[in-house]
Copies of this chain bind each other. A is one copy, B any other.
């Protein structure tokens, strides 16, 4: 009898702790999200880019001087949901990229990094240590640990 009773209490407590710890994680992720944006946005803005624009430029550099098509860019972006067309428009406006219809499959658009875009990326790279500086509250090992945990979280 008392066994059943205590089990119930334990279950209840366990459930409660359980819920609260994951809730704390969720709130923490949202806070951190916001904090990261506040660190990162002004950094890229100082270089005349948004985070996503820089992200796309980096993807383009990965294949440079080969082109990358829209779909591939979309797949590789951290933020999948955003509108690649209009992002690329901005980069072309600024002279950092070019677009051409792919002759092999005319539905596809080939996007290439320009020399100017490459220079901009190198300029940003030089400044990068200043950005990473802001993550130094965590040790080298802790940074690796958190990365691994986040990978695991997303499954």
Contacts and interface: CB of A to CB of B under 8 A. Distances in A.
B147 A146 contact: no
Interface string A82-109: 0000000000000000000000000000
Interface string A5-49: 000000000000111011111111111111111101000000000
Contacts of A80: 34
Task: Please report whether the interface of chain A is mostly helix, strand, loop or mixed according to DSSP.
Answer: helix
A151 interface: yes
Instruction: Work out how many copies of this chain go into the complex.
Output: 2
A78 B153 contact: no
Interface of A: 17-19, 21-38, 40, 51, 78-81, 128-129, 131-132, 135-138, 140, 142-147, 149-155
A152 B137 contact: yes
28 contacts: A17-B140, A19-B128, A19-B132, A21-B143, A21-B144, A22-B135, A22-B136, A23-B128, A24-B143, A24-B147, A25-B135, A25-B144, A26-B40, A28-B146, A28-B147, A29-B33, A29-B150, A30-B78, A31-B154, A32-B153, A32-B154, A34-B80, A137-B152, A137-B155, A138-B152, A138-B153, A146-B146, A146-B153
